[in-house]
Structure 1
């Protein structure tokens, strides 16, 4: 089990002479076992007074807290550990309260309780519990990356404590978790009068903890004058297994083996023993067995090869010189017929190996001669066999050749086996059996190692995912939803594709996936609403209607177009009445973009980049002049105040037009510099700033023609192919439509995720309209208009 060790750094600055205040820091130093079970007590006490008895009060308070906390009975390791620690800590603080009140009374010290500032804390593992009295600052520097911290003022998020009373100084305990590499900083309130939290963060990024406090002291010595101050830094680090810490890092079995002493033995037997012991320690199961089996096989193979060679050579000699029996033809005397001499197979000779000469050393090369003779015999036999076989299989089909060769080889081997003496047959069988057993042993060993490695890899993956889940819970404590969401998504992705074989791992994987999904579900901020209301269906006007991918509102009337007949359709969202407005003289073409302008007017752009002005009051449509170059690819259109904004993806520019009585004047380049990446842009929205949406879900923000930093929160599930972004000057939100995900995502203008509207009925999303005053959202879905309540609007 991992053991987290708390590292506490302290710094106090006091001026010589008669003090204005007394300041002490303290940190308990329990043994590792006690620190694991009960944690460490530490704190900071500042009392503004010149009474010489105050140091005695401070020392008594510190000792009282330590003694009462560590002096109680050790907690039950198997039950309610966190609850027990809270009880212990609270009990110790209560007794410290009584001690302070008793001391002030017995010593007749009149002390203003508002001048007592005390910070007392307990850290155990990753758990942190602390209480604050008076003007003490408690800051968490939450690590986001190398040399990068997020500053969290914990006391800003906690409820304000009640006014201190003589018998109830410590009245509120704050609890949370701290991660490795986070830094917890507590200090007297006057430090922040001279240094900003950002400056302290820079010191932590630049120096280790103790050096950071030393640098802090130097800076305050120059800036703070006669002020007194105290500060504490807390870090925790993973120190491995507690048992090894307690054992003082006892050496392993391999480390205890004394190689130097073994190597210095005079006897060669001791050296061999050392080698064997080393091999046993490094590979305890396979190396000695491999050596024994290999040695046996090698010796048996040489012996068998020599016997086979001797017997085979004898038979060839006898065949060459044998006299055939007499043959008596029917008409002649008996005569002897001799077997003609066989043409010997081509012989191969190996070059002679010259033995190296070493003075004082005799080497027996009989083994080399045996190997040479065996190779010569094998080469002669193989040459004759190949020549004989090639004559028999020439001209046959390929598969018949394979079958013939197999039968021939099997028959040849069986024949050779039967010609061997019984002892050689037994030896050969033993060699084959041992070879099979050895191969099988290696195979099973490899399979076992593979399975064990797979089990260990899955355990590591489960442990890593569990750690990410715990870190996400810690992030939520400090209200960092984006970090928590990213950690949970990473943990879930790391478990994808895992196929554990063990039942325990399968159960662990299922439980972990369920826990991750439950936490992600809370962080998705899904709006809860019933089935969307169907407001209108334009197919009631034309059953073959092909509705354009745009919806523009003038008042509470939605306007779009039927591409089949180029007719403008309108739907009153209050009365749910629908109608068609035909303007054949306009010859409009198919509309692809539209935006509402001032005075009940809507400007549309067709596929041919022709502009048309629609008057919703008079229900008329007419062409209007907008100067657009021929090579422009306009993919975004919006209207803000008296300006028309067009997004040109091909030239990486945003054009701004001023409205005139005849139309719109000449264009001006709104972006200071061209943005080549706009080729993948999908939509734009303007509220004074300009937001550009891309197909991968990115959003760029521009102010005064220049790109400014802007980043959206991580969203789950991720964007697939968003198509629309909308906002206006009066809205606090950015709306992003993602049709493949059947979703409308809502962010605030700082990029934080606010809500998601998802429904299975959103199967053909084209566009949407939001009426924040009425808290209503309308979706153009296929040929229908669907309505849902705006749950996120407050």
Structure 2
């Protein structure tokens, strides 16, 4: 057998696959395989519709029939001029035509860009293949490194990518998948691997090469499956491994025999083996003790009075074993209890004596301390006297002992320190590799729209990056690169859109002390209320011309649009109605006892609604504003409410970023999806569209963003607004598909991409 084939197909277990994948290996008759080789294909169709499965089944049936039952086969077999590549090319040409006919008949609307396929045939050590799409192919071949003999030759495997599909294939016909054929020879003991695009992102080429060159193809596939099960369960992995089982021809040399074998030579070889074994088993450290000992030993033997070394034999002593006598368990317990009792009894007697005679006990302690001090002095003087009386030889030996003791301690310390540093460096490298791997998994999860899994992986990755930064020798450039990658992936998960903001006008040109607080959008104009200055400004939507609408409007702390042409501005003591035709109408009815009792106002169907967090309710006013009724019918705590809006449902925004939805005065099931980073200090809520298919907008000035959700609570995107000042309020212009920002004393606008 010239070759071995093995297939890998691992479907996700935690999510529904987003592609249709198949790895097919033909099973021809023995004579067909001996004459034409074995056919295979790997395909990944970017669709899970039944049409994709039909197309895979068509390939499985049509490709073997077009190749093994070719019209040119019988004639060329008789002439002895079989060319596998030409027969394979003829089969692909027929397959292209049959595929186009099949797609028209079954009404399959799949473009070649969505069909990733590679099919081929392996015959002996020859390989011919053709493909379309983004599948990968790798050639793994061995290079033998020259060594002293054949046994010590080491195989080094190299990896070379192969081109599956040419760039010109994108210009093919509507259903033309195969346009060229690549052919070549698989090197002896070489491998060809075909994979889908996602597999190399989880298993590196080097690691994949190590597995398949170490294990047989079937075992290698199982090993890869086990590793992929631990890494990811959301994507599909597919691969086909082809191994050339032939071995290269090796020029073998006959080793020379050592015929002069004697007992002395045998003993010398045993001695060399013993020395080599001792060298390998000896502990390694800063100080090479064996080398130092050999140096001293050789120097001593060179002295003239040194004794000659005689050969002697050592006889191992016999070791006789005797059975130990053991006490019973109760005897051990009794002895331990007796010891504990004696200790506590002694402590009790000593404590009693100390407390009964404190003066005598203190004097005894002082005498004992003086005696101990005196004995320590005497011992130091005796030691010093002993050292002085030592001979020069003994002093030298003592110095050598001290030096070697210090070297020994230093050697142990250096060895432990080296091992600690090596372990830390290894952990550092493994941690870096783990972070890279998780970042690749995040990209794959985003590719397959698994944002929940990507967010969990991103949190893990950020924790690992923080752990990596705590290493003393951490590469700050690497840390910055990893954090930058995390930031980019966070923006992808968070659907961050940079708002292209440009300025409309500056109200300080109209009033140097302008302090606008509220903004109301009408059909053709935008009204801005400046309560501290009792001023009302107007901006034309058509030409962005701004002007002072009124400079004597004392009750304009809050504002809302009653209809497209009428706006109402009010305070606790009253308000004014402003029409698009530049007319005013005063409203003398008080709306609350104090301005602090009004959190915000809005309107629906021409009726005014007032949110009062202090009074813990929402009030609905009559059309003439003379009376109001409590709208909420449930006993709820809304003291932390900051804003609200109505489109049939009432949406209530709270300080912590939560939104509660009401219908007919009662809470209605609603929950905003989680976003990154979470909402923590929102201030303004706006709505657009109808009550079922529109959008919810939440402004968070501290993060300089506007988060957008649909009316079911699903997160859509968040606009990142790069302005230095905090955003006071905003308005949504659905017709113009723009968002107007009130920033300080200026107005800005940007395009709302969610409305397009």
When normalised by structure 1's length, the TM-score is 0.47
